Structure 1
């Protein structure tokens, strides 16, 4: 019995010792594993800290290169009329009110516009907000006065239109806005709706997580989230949207590290510019600044309280609360945010009611916030490549300021679409290339490379090479008129059959379009009626090489065949090449290389060096004035008279052109503001049956219908006088003589006869007249 008790005690002792040994082993394993876990978490946290530091302390985002339009310049005498400025302000998202009370508003009468301009970054430096009064007369802007002291300004710029952002491969698009420039109501709404304890927790809010878990368990589905703003930021910056416990733990750890390393204000600014706000086709819309433009078409600082509330409301589910697809759902969510603001004394009851009763106020969702300008952007990218290399547009934060005039581009696109649709009734599927320049700056204002302007393919405005036909004639006559001792607008030129033979024995007999000859016509008549034979005779008189040199001096970039047929347009070119030389004609004979870029700023808003070719005088201004006068007569009574009739009270200059067998229809012309060059034809070079006046000119006429022209001022330049010439002989005469015509002339060569061509009387001989 004793042995049995002893055995029992021994067994218990062994069991107890075994239990102690097991517990000791378990404790040993546990603390070792704990140390390993702590070490792992520590090293992992250090690893995450390095990743976070690299993101936060380096470049947080790759900001897309921004491409801007030209900045409209207003000054006394500027060729900008009242309707044009009104259209520009609408495009920029300014609000028309009875009395401007804040930035982004304007009022208008029939002759004045009072404007409170936004601040913006101009290539020449930051432009502060400014309130001005702009007054107009028949010629354009008559004055620009600052409202604070009514001082007249020498020049006043509007902010340029943001045409597009060239995004990186990640598909993310954003517009960085510092927290200081975001309305306080947006920030307060965000914190109330998404993370009320943001300034109290340390990146993770355990109570919010527990509360969300309880609500979700009760509901049987996920109806509430417990993530803080910092956790959301960690997920957006570093993680995927995968739903797993490991990802949530990693997210929480990163949030704690972010909160430890950075201030709440830094975290909040990062969130405001990172948060996903919607989808613009293939582009993800990130950040409050871009979301404001995407949903409302204006800067975030100008949004109403209701619009600010919507930005916070849409964070919960940009697709679910898409205001264009689900407006009622979106408005209900917005009103919930407004109610939260009222309940937390951020809005009065009256403010809440007014905001809740207001519409969403969205921009037109059918219009893209990105300008589809494939032809123009191709030229911009090529010019950037030539100046700065291929890598520029891949750099973050680059800003490219271009010469594009959004209103001219819109008018050009509408003109092309409507006119070619009409031309389809005569000949199917003709194509088009069109270039519009700014007469004063020498910049490309608009460009269309296809009958479908948004089509990204062959750019006919730049890439075609087609015979320009009669568009060369102004340069033939400019060469002739540059020799005033031989030619004036009244000079008679032979219009008789001629046959020329080349060195190979081949003959060429140019014909007028009507197959008739007049014996002799004045230079002006030959010009305005686009007569071929007199043009050839004038060109042969001054020399084919001289005409080719005039064209080259005016900016023609390709080789020019120096054959007599060149005098009638056997020279291949593109609308861009034609626009270049006609820009020289419109600019008083001064050649400036056309460009698409005015300035480029780097990520620090510092300008990159731009090497521009110097301008030079290609055509004597007095000669150029005579050519412009003749081109105006083309529109008044010549081959473009239908255009003149359509704009009877406006001075325009133009020239029609048609290649052999009516394969190519051309027109080039200008008003006081823009130069335009247009080609219409078939890609396969087949016959169209269209003349310059029935094809390309119809596009230009439609363009001017969309963009009312400004009349040419055509003030006589130095060296030009008002002359009188005999209609038959072209001889300079006195104003009292009969059978005369009044025409401008070179001052040095205008020597009118004293007695109207009659024999001198004895007393005239005595007086030496």
Structure 2
């Protein structure tokens, strides 16, 4: 090889890239690829974040509310009832109300500072009022600011429950301006002091936490910012890995770049996990306030606000019901940090640390277990709006449920059924209570264990209603005032009826005795069968069926004579419907469980209103109510009357053949109730209407003291006088007479007392 060739070869070898040049080339190429990958990944994450933040952040559960108590002059609401309602709503009793959520009370007045709330008819501002009472109920409602008397004043409804979506998360959304500033201050002090200074990630905090953890030999401190925690809660799992932490950091940087600190803070305050309510995850400060304290977040004390921030570190570890000392120590740490940062004075700090946390009772659930009522609500929502409504976020459903009536009904069922079970094993119950004035379902129990989610006997059973049908037989008769009055003598003699197939039916009274003749009112109040059949046949079975159907009975009724004694199958809800008509002066309104529905924008959805109709003439209905009051005073329900002396009540007992079904229906000035007690297998119970179902109603009234029926005379009704023997209309100065209400149009007393017999003979056609 020549020298030239060797030189050329050496030159070629020397001019090739060195190893570090190759490494550099590879590094910057890989860097470009890495930057591109990270950029594309960041763009991908940005789209995910934008979709979450700029769309619907959460699926907010449908909120279900009770009725809103309306207070106005003449309202049938007494002092104890309003006191109980305020306690249920979490109002604080004080000597002198100074802020929202407080009230004071004397024996006849209540001064109240009402919370602001969303009402179906519009936002209701906070307001301070004085409510006065008399023996009839509410006498006046005056605004404290100017002493002006208000026509109507509403309390906020009770939040009964939230219908949870499939993710199992539960929350009440609270906007940042509505959040107490102390909670925000404490949160930043405890969780992320540099929140307003960093860009989503705090390297110094991460480094500091790493040193502390390495020194301790375990994880004792975290370096995540609020933004990183939000990214993890929103988009990531709780897995501990480098990959997850890197992804969390990238997302935190993107979130901080795209959104303001206030937006991030609001999202965090409504997303943070705050505890576990059985199968439901409690998310956000708004729901946590209700979960731990049973009141809105704006009414929490400084101590309670500090606790909410304290529990973020570990809701299970700092569970205040299980570990009260641990929870209080953590709360006190938060309070100390607030004091050291001049957010609290020393005096405020001492007062807060010395105060109890003030938890709600662990025995009192924040969710009302109302399986029977909620089943009716959901069915009504489906009927009105279809199956998709409850899947929408943020829907608000306002119902007719009266929480105090529901509580009284449940207590009555539990206590009475425990007693009845000793006499008749395995008896069950169905109960419906309505609001006499609104026509809404106020309470419902479908099982002797009211929280049991199963067969709803208040709605689904079909059992013979027995003597509960009799008021409609007599209403059909009393409207024919030229033939029937409360004093009209009715035959009480053995009868036998034969149908077209040749089958015979011989109705009998319960005592198997006959009296020959009995006044209509006596037949009614003592629930006598044979006189009732005679009245029904005289009127016409078809007319009785028509009265029942007009009153709201929605099932077919066969027009056979046996229906006059209750051979008609129904449920407590069906009975409540027709007795609501009797209680409402003969006016039929279809019972409902929903008053309004608002969408996520708080706009009311259309509701088809069912018009009312007059099923029974008010004057005739008054006579029936009078007779039902006599049932309670001296008839088959006289034990009920004796239990509440001086209180005017209306009622009717009912028993099916062989004492298989025990029924009672009745009402006071406020509520109508229909109750069934019996066996699921339709076996004999040995219970009558007065010994079974009426016992439940009596217990209900002990829990919810009744308001006496006002029974104001209506147009067309007068106080008449009738001969006790013949039933003839008489002058008031005659002997052997009885005073009874009568229809004015047909009340024609005889000219003198001696003419009664011939007048009566003319009346009956003799």
Structure-1-length-normalised TM-score = 0.97
Q: Which residue of 2 aligns with 1:369?
A: 366
Q: Which residue of 2 aligns with 1:170?
A: 167
- Alignment RMSD (CA, Å): 1.6
User: C-alpha distance in 2, partners of 1:537/1:465?
Assistant: 27
Mapping of residues 75-474 of structure 1, within 5 Å:
75-474=72-471
3-state secondary structure, aligned to 1:325: coil
Pairing partner for 1:677 from 639, 658, 674: 674
Pairing partner for 2:589 from 588, 592, 609: 592
Query: Deviation string for 1:677-720 (max 9, x for gaps)?
Result: 00000000000000000000000000000000000000000000
User: C-alpha distance in 2, partners of 1:288/1:12?
Assistant: 77
Mapping of residues 509-548 of structure 1, within 5 Å:
509-548=506-545
Matched, 1:686 2:683: yes
User: C-alpha distance in 2, partners of 1:46/1:582?
Assistant: 66
Matched, 1:560 2:557: yes
Displacement of 1:15? 9.4
3-state secondary structure, aligned to 2:312: helix
Matched, 1:704 2:701: yes
User: C-alpha distance in 1, partners of 2:294/2:14?
Assistant: 79
Q: Which residue of 2 aligns with 1:627?
A: 624
User: C-alpha distance in 1, partners of 2:106/2:77?
Assistant: 16
User: C-alpha distance in 2, partners of 1:512/1:654?
Assistant: 20
Matched, 1:654 2:651: yes
User: C-alpha distance in 2, partners of 1:387/1:371?
Assistant: 24
Displacement of 1:23? 1.1
Matched, 1:490 2:482: no
CA contact (8 A) 2:730 2:756 kept: no
Matched, 1:48 2:45: yes
Matched, 1:644 2:637: no
Residue 511 to residue 31, structure 1, CA distance change in 2 (3 Å)? same
Q: Which residue of 2 aligns with 1:4?
A: none
Matched, 1:725 2:722: yes
Displacement of 1:535? 0.2
User: C-alpha distance in 2, partners of 1:11/1:147?
Assistant: 107
3-state secondary structure, aligned to 2:719: strand
Q: Which residue of 1 aligns with 2:761?
A: none
User: C-alpha distance in 2, partners of 1:214/1:718?
Assistant: 89
Displacement of 1:14? 9.7
Residue 704 to residue 759, structure 1, CA distance change in 2 (3 Å)? closer
CA contact (8 A) 2:726 2:756 kept: no
Q: Which residue of 2 aligns with 1:569?
A: 566
Residue 39 to residue 88, structure 1, CA distance change in 2 (3 Å)? same
User: C-alpha distance in 2, partners of 1:71/1:424?
Assistant: 36
Displacement of 1:759? 9.4
CA contact (8 A) 2:476 2:544 kept: yes
Displacement of 1:353? 0.4
User: C-alpha distance in 2, partners of 1:204/1:113?
Assistant: 54
User: C-alpha distance in 2, partners of 1:635/1:247?
Assistant: 73
Query: Deviation string for 1:5-42 (max 9, x for gaps)?
Result: xx9x9999999877x52111111110000000000011
Residue 361 to residue 12, structure 1, CA distance change in 2 (3 Å)? farther
Query: Deviation string for 1:55-80 (max 9, x for gaps)?
Result: 00000000000000000000000010
User: C-alpha distance in 1, partners of 2:236/2:342?
Assistant: 36
Matched, 1:606 2:603: yes
Pairing partner for 1:746 from 743, 746, 751: 743
3-state secondary structure, aligned to 1:623: helix
3-state secondary structure, aligned to 1:594: coil
Q: Which residue of 2 aligns with 1:3?
A: none
User: C-alpha distance in 1, partners of 2:470/2:352?
Assistant: 64
Displacement of 1:365? 1.0
- Segments of 4+ in structure 1 off by > 2 A? 9-18, 757-760
3-state secondary structure, aligned to 1:708: coil
User: C-alpha distance in 1, partners of 2:595/2:389?
Assistant: 16
User: C-alpha distance in 1, partners of 2:392/2:708?
Assistant: 44
3-state secondary structure, aligned to 1:648: coil
3-state secondary structure, aligned to 1:600: strand
Mapping of residues 7-18 of structure 1, within 5 Å:
none
User: C-alpha distance in 2, partners of 1:61/1:601?
Assistant: 18
User: C-alpha distance in 2, partners of 1:212/1:10?
Assistant: 61
Displacement of 1:757? 2.5
Q: Structure 2 unaligned runs (5+)? A: 1-5, 758-766
User: C-alpha distance in 2, partners of 1:569/1:14?
Assistant: 117
User: C-alpha distance in 2, partners of 1:299/1:17?
Assistant: 79
CA contact (8 A) 2:209 2:222 kept: yes
Query: Deviation string for 1:552-585 (max 9, x for gaps)?
Result: 0000000001100000000000000000000000
CA contact (8 A) 2:723 2:756 kept: no
3-state secondary structure, aligned to 1:151: coil
Residue 12 to residue 691, structure 1, CA distance change in 2 (3 Å)? farther
User: C-alpha distance in 1, partners of 2:159/2:705?
Assistant: 24
Q: Which residue of 1 aligns with 2:32?
A: 35
Query: Deviation string for 1:209-239 (max 9, x for gaps)?
Result: 0011111111111111100000000000000
Residue 249 to residue 16, structure 1, CA distance change in 2 (3 Å)? farther
Residue 106 to residue 13, structure 1, CA distance change in 2 (3 Å)? farther
User: C-alpha distance in 1, partners of 2:200/2:222?
Assistant: 15
User: How many residues end up aligned between the 2 structures?
Assistant: 755
Q: Structure 1 unaligned runs (5+)? A: 1-6, 761-769
Displacement of 1:615? 0.2
3-state secondary structure, aligned to 1:665: strand
